[in-house]
């Protein structure tokens, strides 16, 4: 009789331990799912605040957003974010998560001014543009592509931020075909840093093109500053 009681008690203990283990595992999984959602879904439908204002400001400047810049993540903002995501090879969900914000040149709690250029996010974004547009070109030519972007930032004809210039609608093939999302190599990163530091082998150019592939007659009318590799740089 005593043996039966002990066996029964042991079974109960084992069952309780299994229940406790499963409960702990479930809590851990749910906690990590929620944590992941908090990280990824930084701004979405219904969100309000300065980050939403930055998103709307940039998307309006680039022609994706037509509503008021009011800091409220409504249906128009969702639609604009989806258009931006589709254009840039991102998951099209209308949510401004970490990847979408990075593509816009926005970091969490960053300021909307965007005048600071020499920081890690700008180096990486510029390197991605250089890698997408000019990998395989001579090193000087890669720096020159970065310099063109920096010259546009300084020009009143273009957006005044690196991300604004790069993601301006129709400005760069690397954005249109998604190559902007490739990981840049060390050469592109070094070229980006040199361009950010002020080296300008393009001699003030704000345009460049490949003569063997260019179909726009207007670009041929621009004053030439220099030819490096396959690219002609012009003003």
Domain 50-104 in CATH 1.10.1060.10? The answer is: no
Domain 125-234 in CATH 3.50.50.60? The answer is: no
Residue 120 is predicted with a pLDDT of 78
Which of 30-34, 51-55, 182-186, 197-201 has the weakest average pLDDT?
Answer: 30-34
54: pLDDT strictly greater than 70: yes
Q: What percent of the chain has pLDDT over 90?
A: 52
Residue 200 or residue 10, greater confidence: 200
Query: To which H or E segment does residue 233 belong?
Result: strand 231-234
Which of 72, 143, 160, 59 lies closest to 103, judged by CA?
59
Which of 164, 209, 166, 203 lies closest to 184, judged by CA?
166
Task: Give me the mean pLDDT over the 17-40 stretch.
Answer: 60
Average pLDDT of the residues of the chain: 83
Would you call 92 helix, strand, or coil by DSSP?
coil
Judge if pTM exceeds 0.75. no
Residue-wise pLDDT for 174-197, tens only, equals 999 999 999 999 999 999 999 998
Task: Give me the mean pLDDT over the 14-21 stretch.
Answer: 76
Say which residue the tokens 């969490």 belong to.
108
Residue 108 is predicted with a pLDDT of 59
Q: Are strands 224-228 and 207-209 parallel, antiparallel or unpaired?
A: unpaired
Tell me the two tokens of residue 95. Answer: 């949510």
Max Cα-Cα span within the chain: 103
Residue 53 or residue 111, greater confidence: 53
Q: What residues does each domain of the chain span?
A: 1-40, 50-104, 125-234
Task: Give me the mean pLDDT over the 13-26 stretch.
Answer: 74
Residue 32 is predicted with a pLDDT of 53
Same CATH fold assignment for domains 50-104 and 125-234: no
Identify the band that residue 99 occupies on the pLDDT scale cut at 50, 70 and 90: confident
């Amino acid at each position: 009789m005593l043996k039966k009681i002990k066996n029964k008690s042991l079974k109960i203990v084992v069952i309780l331990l299994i229940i406790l283990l499963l409960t702990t595992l479930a809590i851990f999984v749910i906690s990590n799912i929620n944590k992941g959602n908090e990280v990824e879904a930084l701004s979405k439908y219904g969100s309000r605040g300065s980050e939403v204002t930055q998103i709307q400001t940039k998307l309006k400047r680039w022609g994706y957003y037509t509503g008021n810049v009011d800091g409220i993540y409504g249906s128009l903002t969702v639609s604009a974010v989806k258009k931006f995501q589709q254009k840039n090879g991102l998951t099209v969900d209308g949510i401004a998560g970490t990847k979408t914000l990075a593509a816009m040149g926005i970091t969490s709690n960053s300021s909307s001014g965007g005048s600071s250029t020499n920081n890690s996010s700008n180096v990486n974004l510029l390197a991605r543009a250089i890698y997408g547009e000019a990998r395989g070109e001579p090193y000087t030519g890669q720096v020159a592509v970065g310099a063109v972007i920096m010259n546009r930032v300084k020009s009143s004809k273009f957006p005044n931020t690196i991300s604004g210039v790069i993601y301006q609608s129709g400005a760069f093939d690397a954005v249109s075909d998604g190559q902007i999302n490739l990981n840049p190599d060390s050469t592109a990163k070094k070229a980006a840093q040199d361009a950010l530091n002020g080296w300008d082998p393009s001699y003030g150019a704000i345009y460049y093109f490949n003569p063997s592939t260019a179909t726009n007659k207007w670009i041929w009318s621009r004053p030439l500053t220099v030819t490096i590799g396959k690219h002609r740089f012009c003003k």
